């Protein structure tokens, strides 16, 4: 397949995938740490890199009905979270376009 093209992040406090160590997001992009996924704690990030998304689905989450798609790591093709496409409740609209990555799948590098 060849070596896949990877993006990188400058600066400190970067979150990387535990399995393949590619850069996913950083501390500056965190919006909230109070989320929960299948494996436990999860973070809401404004943006991330080196991922691709799966098929959009409608799901009933704790906070209501949303349209989400799986977030898949480019390096190891593992599902590590999800991305909000649409929120049906007004109070949840702020999440649209943002991504959730579960704490279990990421680790910190360049932390001071």
| Interface size with another protein, residues (CB under 8 A) | 13
Among 31, 53, 85, 109, binds another protein (CB under 8 A): 109
If the CB atoms of residues 3 and 91 are measured against another protein, the closer one turns out to be 3
Place of tokens 């691709």: 52
Q: Shortest distance, CB of residue 49 to another protein, whole angstroms?
A: 9
Q: Give the Cα separation of 36 and 46 in Å (integer).
A: 17
Q: Shortest distance, CB of residue 47 to another protein, whole angstroms?
A: 13
Residues 43-52 as b or e (16 or more Cβ within 10 Å = b): bbbeebebbe
Q: Shortest distance, CB of residue 44 to another protein, whole angstroms?
A: 22
Q: Give the Cα separation of 85 and 56 in Å (integer).
A: 8
């Amino acid at each position: 397949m060849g070596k896949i093209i990877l993006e990188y992040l400058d600066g400190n406090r970067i979150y990387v995938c535990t399995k393949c160590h590619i850069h996913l997001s950083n501390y500056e992009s965190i919006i909230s740490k109070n989320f929960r996924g299948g494996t436990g704690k999860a973070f809401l990030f404004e943006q991330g890199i080196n991922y691709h998304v799966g098929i959009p689905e409608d799901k009933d989450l704790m906070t209501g009905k949303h349209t989400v798609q799986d977030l898949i790591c480019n390096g190891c093709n593992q599902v590590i979270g999800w991305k909000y496409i649409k929120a049906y409740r007004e109070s949840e609209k702020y999440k649209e376009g943002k991504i959730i990555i579960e704490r279990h799948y990421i680790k910190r590098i360049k932390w001071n």
